[in-house]
Each structure stands twice: as C-alpha cells, then as structure tokens.
Amino acid sequence: MAAAWGTVSAVEGEHALVRMDESGCGRCREVGGCGGNHLAKLLCATPRTFRVPNPERRAVGEYVRVRIGAGSLRRSALAAYVFPLLALLIGALAGSAWAGELGAIGGALAGLLVGWLGLRRAQRRDAADPRCQPSITS
C-alpha cells in the first residue's frame, strides 16, 4: 500500500479535493528510497490535487493520509513504462527483420501506437477498479 499526506482543499458532495503535500510514494526520504521527490519538486512546481471519495466527511483544511491499494502502483508503472517500451522494441525488431532500417522505423512507430493503445486500455480498466482508486485513511 502506497500512501502520502495531503490537505483537503475542497469538498464536492461525496468527494474531497486533496492537495498532496508530498511528491513520490512516501519512501523517498527514507534510507534506500529513490529520492524522486526532489525531481518532482523541480518538475512540478504546483501541488497535485486529486478527487478522492470522502465517506468520513473530512472538512476543508484537514490534514489527511491518502492511500492506493497494494500492487496498483506497480501495475500502473509497468503499464506506463514497461509495456510501451517493449512494444517499441518488438516493433522495431520485427520491422528491421522485415524491411531493414526503414522497416525498423515503421515498426517502432507501430509499436509506440500499440503501447499507447495498451496504456489507454489499462487506464480505463483501472479507472473502473475500486482497488486502484485512492482513499482517505486518516
């Protein structure tokens, strides 16, 4: 389970808009952590805001912990990084074997398209899966 802290910035019916105070997974500052929060602060100057179910009726200004289910972060990272890269490489290799250098370029582009379509499919699947949705835990 990955979790991070944020502040409720607005309440919209059954949902809360939570402005995340941390970047990364929460292990960035620990020994052996990746340190990705430093890169996130450099690249993303504005805080991220997420719409999260609010069954406990948290109020604006409350400091809350937001979590996502075990495995959903890993599955999302694989879908976003590994699958498109593999599709690109397989497309380039297949195109190269079929038509040389020009085929490799065409195959790589086709692989990127397949990777993008696969990513969109995974995104739609995860959007409907309640285990992949963020929730307020405390």
Q: Encode pLDDT of 34-72 as tens digits.
A: 655 555 555 555 678 888 888 888 888 888 888 887 777
Ramachandran area for residue 61 (φ above 0: left; ψ -120 to 50: alpha; else beta): left
pLDDT score, position 14: 87
The string of pLDDT tens digits covering residues 109-129 is: 999 999 999 999 988 888 777
CA angle 120, 124, 127 (to 5 degrees): 135
Categorize the per-residue pLDDT at 104 as very low, low, confident or very high, splitting at 50, 70 and 90.
very high
Q: By the 8 A CB rule, do 54 and 15 touch? A: yes
Q: By the 8 A CB rule, do 87 and 80 touch? A: no
pTM for the full model?
0.62
pLDDT score, position 30: 59
